Structure 1
């Protein structure tokens, strides 16, 4: 036994094969079970969460329907009372009051109706039970020609309706709702669905309790930052439309909770349903217990099987361990000394072949990585990778391609360069070009070259392009402006310069490929579209993107382009119509 094998053997002293095999069997038995348990529990939780959300939404919908029905019944009662009081066919005043009292008596919600003259003077009240009318209309009623509910957690809900005779307002009615009736609706639903009253409540647009107070809340109590509103943010404007929001949080006692909020736009209320996760996910706990029991049973079986295998395992594995350690040190010339005619012998031979293949593959990887790393500084990443792998030639020549070219230049850069140190100039350009390059890559373009304070990018170079290179080039131009706008405050503070880009975009056929000589070449695009894009970049104002008519024609409806008319372009015999990209 070699010194390294002795070291391996001594390192194992105190750890028996039985323990190792048992641990391996436990891993084989328990890890898949654990993974399966995690996946099943996640899937089950996701399903239960969806079911619970649907259940809470159904309860919220039922609550909203029953509250709406109660309020509609109250509206009808007050409307009937208004018709009776406004009728000129009932001359007996006492009989008229009796009919009005019967009208509100048919409603479980309305307790009283107060009558007011057109100028707001109190005339009288029609009451039932212990209800007491009010003697003032109150300032909450702004539009006095439209029937409406006024909800105030402090005084309760009231329904206002103008008295109309021949289309003319002659007075007003104010009906008072019995707060306990709305509480009863909400509380009974909570008990029927959950067996508790404190899981269902209705709040107004200021998150104050208006119904379903139960024993947990009081009318007018604010729930802002409490319960489900720890996770769900609602502002007054959101109460004007139907909205469903869900969230989970921990109660004050640490108990996990889950809840749903549904808005009632007609009343500017919201129904809140919340319950403990332990109740909502009771089946999940049962599944977890079943997995735990199964895990213990498999662990016991693994211990027994591991012990049996360990007693029958007497194979020379020390040499194989030493061999693998040598391979880990990348000593691929180490030889396999195991010559047994069993599985370990096959394993040793396989390790030897693996080492030979790894050594050859590593040399090839190093060679290709070196080539690709060097080429990537001068060629597009796709071209560099193709050349490094032998899939593309590195020779002069090119092909015709329909491309879109983007030139972006830093406006007023010369004054900054004159007054700044070379280090600051390089730092700014490096930071700018790094992000502009990332923008180009993100939109599927190729960075052709950097020229002083400008960058040239080409879209549509690859053979597998989707044909949308014009849209991707315009999107990249917009992102370039956004980045510069977002970074300007920081650059202004650091470099004392206000950076803005002037961008020109042209599209059309160009020659794409390796240009230069056998001694020095570069991968680029050459053509009229390239020249025009460069000219437009020089014409663009700071923060402006100028494009040709052909670009505007192919841009699509997602971009807003404004015509700037015909402009002379250096190198072109005829003026060209230019367009501005409106961001």
Structure 2
């Protein structure tokens, strides 16, 4: 008896080869004629969407840089005119430190109330122009100045204290913003320096290439893209945007977009050759015509027979994909096509099961972590949620460094100030001090009144925990010294920190009761650090000799001799961090 012939399984690849090269390509001639316009419109819309995204990014970048520069100029002006700083050299160091942290600024000049130039400080390694001998007219961001193909933006602000004009401060924007925009132009627009421009209120190029018809300082009024865009009577001081296709001065077809930055009276222009935008369209048309001529006959003969079965499988696969996108992980592949589509549908069902299980686990961990983070440090909460740490009472002996930072003379401030002011000041202080601790890899253990306690070396091992604690102490003093004038004016508090740091073995873990526990460190090393903080004068950091040895050679100390500490039988050698 002759056995029945084996059924031939037509693979998905074979089906697509036949169907796409027959059924779809049978209509390729019509698509080449009618689809060209659709493709061109789609490419044009995609290009404009890209240009709008770049413009939005540039506008945000420009506004952020100008806001940072204005804020930094304001802070430097406050430092330079702060009457409570009697040491001119210290005042200059604070101002230079504030300027060094302001990446957007190149130079800050200060003028007397009568408008005469007093002095100027400039960022290192950045060439800056000599500031004007007299304070310029105007306020806030002044009109751009152009010289030798370079645009200069300056921010002017009067400094008033107690109702009296103390000075004027003039900040000059650095070259960093222009450099970033030039790099962005080359990266996004085929290496062109003129793909991205910023125009001032007079329609001159504020940011652009160094030379050529669109060089910095050149006017675009009535030329290039502006010859086809009607700018409102109010100029760029009102919100408006436009897009157009045009020919530039050389006759090259271009696609361009413009958007005004109304708060600054500026505009961002993005321009790109049409040939680069529609390159894929020409290539697609040539390919479609060539393939259509070669495969039209095959498409007419075979395409109709296979189209129905494959289209049905693809439609079901699309439906399944959309169900999973809606997180409906119960949907399953139900067709039986006899080819690789069945394998793919089954694999997608397995994937849905794994995704559902993964989401449940993520939700469980997130819920646990959210609950625990209200009581425990974030690192400990994450490890408990991941199953790496238990909630049992107890701890382990660890070598750690402990830092106590306290606001000196806080009690007198709390007695006279309103409770709302006290809380607002502490919230500002603790927010930044916590960020300093986190930046150096520490854990904020607790807040005790106006004091913060931080641990370094737990829960994660840190061989350099002593150096991390000292670096955090230095950063805390810098922040408070910089912010003290503003706090004095805002809250009426003389903010200075006294800090004590010690290292040694401590018991670290969950302490308390079964119903209420907290993650903390207990031991003599912690007690000594707290005593040192109580001895520290305003602006002083006191450490033990053990911590100084553990921190290494990167710090400077001055010996304060041996001192008796409450709870210690023998005097303790104390050093001051310089």
TM-score normalised by the chain length of structure 1: 0.50
Tell me, yes or no, if structure 1 residue 434 matches structure 2 residue 422. no
Change (3 A) 1:230 1:430: closer
Distance change in 2, residues 1:302/1:366 (3 Å)? farther
1:527 aligned residue? 523
User: Residue 251 and residue 350 in structure 1: after superposition, are their counterparts in 2 closer, same or farther (change >3 A)?
Assistant: same
Matches within 5 A, 1:367-406: 367-406=364-403
Alignment of 1:423 onto 2:382? no
Listed one character per residue, the Cα deviations across residues 28-81 of structure 1 (whole Å, up to 9, x for unaligned) are: xx9xxxxxxxxxxxxxxxxxxxxxxxxxxxxxxxxxxxxxxxxxxxxxxxxxxx
Pick one of 536, 556, 561 that aligns with 1:560.
556
Q: Does 1:338 align with 2:260?
A: no
Conserved 8 A contact 2:149-2:215: no
| Superposed displacement of residue 529, structure 1 | 0.9
Task: Decide whether aligned partners of structure 1 residues 299 and 404 sit closer, same or farther in structure 2, where only a CA change above 3 A counts.
Answer: farther
TM-score, normalising length: structure 2: 0.50
The alignment partner of 2:311 has SS state of: coil
Q: Does the Cα contact within 8 Å between 1:402 and 1:509 map onto a contact in 2? A: yes
Conserved? CA contact 2:445–2:519, under 8 Å: yes
Q: CA deviation at 1:298?
A: 7.1
Which whole-Å CA distance do the structure 2 matches of 1:534 and 1:304 have between them?
A: 83
Shift of 1:331: 2.2
Which aligned segments of 4 or more residues in structure 1 are displaced greater than 6 angstroms? Answer: 16-23, 228-231, 289-295, 302-310
Which of 350, 359, 363 is the aligned partner of 2:360?
363
Structure 2 counterpart SS, 1:515: strand
CA distance in 2, matches of 1:290, 1:321: 33
1:233-286 C-alpha deviation (Å, 9 max, x unpaired): xxxxxxxxxxxxxx99734644679xxxxxxxxxxxxxxxxxxxxxxxxxxxxx
CA distance in 1, matches of 2:128, 2:437: 47
CA distance in 2, matches of 1:540, 1:481: 13
Which residue is 1:250 aligned to?
209
Alpha carbons of structure 1 residues 320 and 558: separation in structure 2 relative to 1, 3 Å = same
Q: Does 1:459 align with 2:456?
A: yes
Corresponding residue number in structure 1 for 2:486? 490
1:464 positional shift = 3.8
Quote how far apart the aligned CAs of 1:374 are: 2.0
- Would you say 1:470 and 2:392 are equivalent positions? no
SS in 2 for 1:315: helix
Distance (Å, rounded) in 2 between the aligned partners of 1:493 and 1:519: 44
Contact 2:480–2:497 (CA under 8 A) maintained in structure 1 = yes
Residues 299, 495 of structure 1: CA spacing in aligned structure 2 closer, same or farther, 3 A cutoff?
Answer: farther
Q: Distance in 2 between matches of 1:302 and 1:404?
A: 71
Change (3 A) 1:482 1:250: same
- Structure 2, unpaired ranges of 5+: 1-22, 44-126, 130-145, 154-182, 184-192, 194-207, 217-274
Q: Determine the C-alpha separation between the residues in 2 that align with 1:447 and 1:359.
A: 36
Q: How many residues align?
A: 331
The alpha-carbon deviation at position 405 of structure 1 amounts to 0.3
Q: Deviations over 1:456-480 (max 9, x none)?
A: 1011114542x11111110000111
Retained in 2: the 8 A contact 1:320–1:338?
Answer: no
Give yes or no for the alignment of 1:410 onto 2:332: no
- For residues 132-178 of structure 1, give each alpha carbon's deviation from its aligned partner in whole angstroms, at most 9, with x where no partner exists: xxxxxxxxxxxxxxxxxxxxxxxxxxxxxxxxxxxxxxxxxxxxxxx
CA 1:429–1:339: 2 relative to 1, 3 Å: farther
Asked if the contact 2:480–2:496 (Cα under 8 Å) also holds between the matched residues in 1, the reply is yes
Q: Distance in 1 between matches of 2:419 and 2:323?
A: 51
Higher mean displacement: 366-375 or 422-431 = 422-431
Shift of 1:549: 1.2
Listed one character per residue, the Cα deviations across residues 99-139 of structure 1 (whole Å, up to 9, x for unaligned) are xxxxxxxxxxxxxxxxxxxxxxxxxxxxxxxxxxxxxxxxx
1:211-232, Cα deviation, whole Å (9 max, x unpaired)? xxxxxxxxxxxxx94258989x
**Secondary structure of 1:357's aligned partner:** helix
The aligned counterpart of 2:502 is 506
Indicate the SS of the match to 2:363.
helix
Is the 2:395–2:508 contact (alpha carbons within 8 Å) kept by the matching residues of 1? yes
**The 10-residue stretch of structure 1 (500-509 or 355-364) with the greater mean CA deviation from structure 2:** 355-364
**Structure 1 residue corresponding to 2:513, chosen from 517, 525, 530:** 517
- Mapped to 2, the partners of 1:321 and 1:491 lie a distance apart of 60
> Aligned partners of 1:411 and 1:424: how far apart in 2?
17
Aligned to 2:539: 543
Deviation at 1:559, TM superposition (A): 1.2
Please list, as runs of the form range in 1=range in 2, the aligned pairs for 1:19-418 lying within 5 A after superposition.
225-226=147-148, 250-251=209-210, 253-254=212-213, 297=283, 300-301=286-287, 314-316=310-312, 317-418=314-415
TM-superposed CA distance for 1:576, in Å, is: 1.5
Distance in 1 of aligned mates of 2:490 and 2:277: 59
Equivalents in 1 of 2:150, 2:327: separation in Å? 58
